[in-house]
Amino acid sequence: MKKRDRRQTPIRASLTAGWADAVPESTEVKPDTAQCCAQLALITASAFYLDGEGTSRNLESKEDKSKDTARIMSKQLSETKKKELKEERKRTKNNYRVPVLNPDGTPAMPTTSRRANKWIKEKKAKIVKNKLGIFQIQLLFEPSGRKKQPIVMTVDPGSAFTGIGVISKKSVLYGCTLELPGYKQGSKPKIEKNKFGKKVEKYANAIVEGMDKRRELRRGRRHRNCRRREERWLNRSRSKIPPSILARKQLELKVATILAKIYPIIMIGFEDVAFDHFKDTKGVKGQFFPHVEVGKNWILRELRKIAPRGVKIIKGYETARMRSLLLMKKEGDKTVRSVEAHVNDCIAMGAMMFNGGVETKNKFKYDTITRPKYSRRILHLEQPTKGGVRRRYGGTTCIDKWTNIRKGDYVEARQGENVYRSYVSGFTTMNGRNYIYVSDFDWKGFGKDRTQTAIVPSNIKILSRNSGLLVRSMVKIMTKDELFDNKTGTVQMNIEDAWG
């Protein structure tokens, strides 16, 4: 068997059953080497580079930069290399990276799935859980050394979706898309007129709508003899971030913090979002850019606390140029749950931080993450029931206290021959019996009519408490026989082994 070649290559990412592998894109278009080198030199003119061996360096002169860039691009455009990659793809089909923890819980350098399986069989490591459902092991012995190669995290922020990637010099380790709070699945924009009389598209925002409804109900209760909050007039400070934007930034920070505990991240790349509002004074084209710009300083300040070497700001046009040089596809529809929609930009930013390119021959896990869609606690229903009684609405706990299961808990529910591993979405009582609702990632049922599945509490087992996150890959539908077979061995690509 030939020794694996780890030179930089053009890459293209694609999604396959929740796991993504990046392979060279077969194309007849061959870009001019000199032109590509000149474009790449513009990108890397003032960049801080990581060399993949645990150290950092700066290129000394423009001449050295151009030589180094030409060497990288010549390797990327090699036709012989493309043929070798096609052959090697068959040999490295399942060679994805597994995150590793040291015995004291600190993140170590990820290893291959083959080595992780070997350590588990020899009882040198154990499977540990994490909130993102990533298969992870922890060593039961002190390693011979703790030297780590640099690993970076890249963030591509947006108003409704945010892409996050974890990348090393030799592989892409993880990629995910965050569906930010306020986004409604399948919602369509409404055409409205702004204060200047221009027609603009207005997207529904669940957080803004919820706050408007809460304000309306509180004003109504002030005229009745019932529980209420006194009106406040000294809370109009302009220094506060709007709640709808703050919730989005908090979700980005939460996922980044969890990833920093799983991977030894040394630096974070953040795509800078800017818009010239003076060119569009009426806010027709740039009406949604403030959603991304506001709170940018706050999230950057918090991200600097995670990475030892701080945050590197990358311009959007630099990311687009590097993505085109690496022959990576960009999905135009932002709502598509695929690597091409958001994670490819993160890979391009990682390539810039690693001096021109990263290798992505191995498979890496891709996921979609959002917040639970249950209703927050409301004092009571808007309309009274028979007898003039308004019952409480919303909340995460059961009102009658007949179960300790809460909304958002990750559970294993059995109904007939099917076994669901998903999230609790509600409670109900029918004909004197208590039931628990279990929903999928989109907060809908598993049947054809997409109604929520009501299951008796005795058939539900808690796997993990509510973490405030919904992870799409953790939602599984299987039979009892499939569940039994999965538990007999260690199958790395199935999340059941990590959460069973």
Q: What are 441's two structure tokens?
A: 């990632």
Render pLDDT for 346-361 as a digit per residue (tens, 0 to 9): 998 998 898 766 776 6
Cα–Cα distance, 347 to 269 (Å, whole number): 10
**Would you tell me how many other CB atoms lie within 10 Å of the CB of residue 149?**
17
Specify the pLDDT at position 113: 84
Q: Are 76 and 9 in contact (CB under 8 A)?
A: yes
pLDDT band at 362 (very low <50, low <70, confident <90, very high): low
According to the per-residue pLDDT averaged within each range, which of 22-31, 78-87, 212-221 is highest? Answer: 212-221
Q: Are 461 and 404 in contact (CB under 8 A)?
A: no
Alpha carbon 68 to its chain centroid, in Å, reads 33
Q: Which residues contact 242 (CB under 8 A, 6 or more apart)?
A: 294
Specify the pLDDT at position 194: 66
3-state secondary structure the chain: CCCCCCCCCCCCEEEECCEEEECCCCCCCCCCHHHHHHHHHHHCCCCCEECCCCCEECCCCHHHHHHHHHHHHHHHCCHHHHHHHHHHHHHCCCCCEEEEECCCCCEEEEEEHHHHHHHHHCCCEEEECCCCCCCEEEECCCCCCCCCCCEEEEEECCCCEEEEEEEECCCEEEEEEEECCCCCCCCCCEEEECCCCCEEEECCCHHHHHHHHHHHHHHHHCCCCCCCCCCCCCCCCCCCCCHHHHHHHHHHHHHHHHHHHHCCEEEEEEEECCCCCCCCCCCCCCCCHHHHHCCHHHHHHHHCCCCCCCEEEEEHHHHHHHHHHCCCCCCCCCCCCCHHHHHHHHHHHHHHHCCCCCCCCCEEEEEEEECCCCCCCECCCCCCCCCCCCCCECCCCCCCCCCCCCCCCEEEEEECCEEEEEEEEEEEEECCEEEEEEECCCCCCCCCCCCCEEECHHHEEEEECCCCCEEHHHCEEEEHHHHHHHHHCCCCCCCHHHHC
Render pLDDT for 77-135 as a digit per residue (tens, 0 to 9): 566 666 665 555 554 445 678 999 999 999 999 998 888 888 999 999 999 989 998 98
Cα–Cα distance, 181 to 374 (Å, whole number): 12
Share of the chain above pLDDT 90, in %: 25
Q: Which residues contact 194 (CB under 8 A, 6 or more apart)?
A: 200, 282, 283, 284, 287
Q: Which residues contact 82 (CB under 8 A, 6 or more apart)?
A: 9, 24, 26
Beta bridge partners of 265: 151
Least confident range from 42-56, 205-219, 266-280: namely 42-56
Least confident range from 73-77, 155-159, 213-217, 273-277: namely 73-77
Residue (of 478, 157, 131, 151) closest to 288 by Cα position: 157
According to the per-residue pLDDT averaged within each range, which of 56-70, 118-132, 222-236 is highest? Answer: 118-132
Alpha carbon 362 to its chain centroid, in Å, reads 19
Cα–Cα distance, 336 to 163 (Å, whole number): 12
Specify the pLDDT at position 2: 46
Q: What are 314's two structure tokens?
A: 């990358």
Residue 203 backbone class (left: φ over 0; alpha: ψ -120 to 50; beta: rest): beta
**Would you tell me how many other CB atoms lie within 10 Å of the CB of residue 138?**
17
Q: What are 166's two structure tokens?
A: 């974890």
pTM of the model: 0.76
**Would you tell me how many other CB atoms lie within 10 Å of the CB of residue 394?**
14
Cα–Cα distance, 366 to 342 (Å, whole number): 11
Q: What are 167's two structure tokens?
A: 């990348």
Place of tokens 């408007």: 212
Instruction: Say if residue 84 is exposed, middle or buried (CB neighbours under 10 Å; 0-12, 13-18, 19+).
Output: middle
**Once rounded to an integer, what is the mean pLDDT over residues 298-311?**
92
Specify the pLDDT at position 212: 83
Specify the pLDDT at position 137: 93
Render pLDDT for 387-418 as a digit per residue (tens, 0 to 9): 777 777 788 888 888 899 999 999 999 888 88
